[in-house]
Amino acid sequence: AQSRASAGRDALRARVAANRAAKPARSGNFRRRRIAALALALVGILAAWFLVAFFQPFAGDGEGEGSVLVEIPEGSDTGEIAKILDEQGVISSASLFQLRLRLSGETDSIQADSYQLASGMSYSTVIDRLTGKAPTGGAIAVTIPEGLSRDQIASDVLPEGVSSDEYLQLTETAPKGFDTSKYGAKSENLEGFLFPATYDLPPENNVKSLADQQLAAFTDNISQVDLKAAAKKNLTAYDVLIIASMVDKEVQVPKERALVASVIYNRLSQGIPLGIDATTRYETQNYTEPITQEQLDADTPYNTRINAGLPPTPIGNPGLAAMKAAASPAQTKFIYFVVKPGTCGEHSFTASEAEFEKLAAEYQAALEAEGGSPTNCPE
């Protein structure tokens, strides 16, 4: 009996020991399963966050709020574009936008320009705006190229549904609250103040919306221009606009803006007529036909072949790059520039009259040989 009792106690102790040995194993398995489940849940949460952040399903119409003027410089790559948009609050993540842009296949479709955007826009809406796709909600997209005059904007750019006559009438004088004299202008005409960019216009009252947006964009951009160097030459902000408008008319190659501006400054300081025929084209509204001898001989304030100094007003509406060049020109002694034959608007610059005569003769010979403009721009 005693032996059987002892055997029973041994068996009980064996079962208890076995249970104790088994518990850590089950506890370890449980912890591993729990960690795996938590990791899976975390991965799911991160994946869901990425999908929401990337595709932005709760962004409403994606149009954002307010107004943000964004300048995309020439030669900007996708990373630089994304950084600009992120820094100005247009998008929420530069890296996600860059990925979305690459997946859209539109990386090569964005042109250097100024764009009127908004804060907190969806990635897809931003891509649509930067690639020139029409806005939603019945809005009208209009792109104003740099350097065009009011008349050119009205006749050549405004789309159907935006009245050219109303635009010319509305921009003839400054609206209440916009003081042209603040910049040194002697009239209220808005030539020069209508900033070129891409704008979204509402279906109704779109002309007023366009003019208001252009003036707001001008105010934003002129604040980025350092006018101290011009002021030392006794030039006002309005004078800078006049110079910038001529720069935009003369320059096709961006790196030449500051060089052309330097020629204008040098001629002004020496009392030499500017000799920029674009001023005569502006006055006569002759933008397509050869300038006549009668037009060149007319003694008017806009004839810069005859009269020294600046024309009375800007001859177009310059962009930010031209304004910056006009405010801070290159430091040169150049007083001449001539188009290089066989190029797409490139110029040769010189301070020598003899060199100028030689370059001008070469251009004239190429002009006659070609039977027209000897420039060579890609289609």
Task: Give per-residue pLDDT as tens, 113-136.
Answer: 888 788 888 888 888 888 877 566
Phi-psi region of 174 (alpha: psi -120 to 50; beta: other; left: phi over 0): beta
pLDDT value at 267 more than 60: yes
Q: Mean pLDDT, the chain, as a whole number? A: 87
HSE value, Cβ hemisphere, 13 Å, CA-based, for 88 = 24
Whole-number pLDDT of residue 33: 82
Whole-number pLDDT of residue 124: 83
d(CA 173, CA 299): 26
Q: What is the mean pLDDT of residues 86-95?
A: 88
Looking at the chain, the whole-number percentage of residues with pLDDT higher than 70 is 86
d(CA 115, CA 139): 15
Whole-number pLDDT of residue 15: 63
Q: What is the mean pLDDT of residues 201-221?
A: 93
Residue with tokens 């194993």: 25
Whole-number pLDDT of residue 23: 52
Paired with 114 in beta bridges are: 71
Is 65-133 a CATH 3.30.1490.480 domain?
Answer: yes
Sequence spans of domains, the chain: 1-55, 65-133, 228-370
Query: pLDDT class for 74, splitting at 50, 70, 90?
Result: confident
Among 125-134, 198-207, 263-272, 296-305, name the one with the lowest average pLDDT.
125-134
d(CA 137, CA 203): 9
Whole-number pLDDT of residue 313: 98
Query: pLDDT class for 105, splitting at 50, 70, 90?
Result: confident
d(CA 276, CA 316): 14
d(CA 367, CA 373): 6
pLDDT value at 327 more than 90: yes
* Overall residue count recorded for the chain in this entry: 379
Q: What is the pTM of this model?
A: 0.75
**pLDDT tens track for 248-259:** 999 999 999 999
Task: Kindly tell me the burial class for residue 114, based on how many C-beta atoms sit within 10 Å of its own C-beta (0-12, 13-18, 19 or more).
Answer: buried
Among 282, 290, 284, 352, smallest CA distance to 317 is for 282
Q: What is the mean pLDDT of residues 290-302?
A: 95
Q: What is the mean pLDDT of residues 189-205?
A: 92
The tokens for 297 are 């001989």
pLDDT value at 40 more than 70: yes
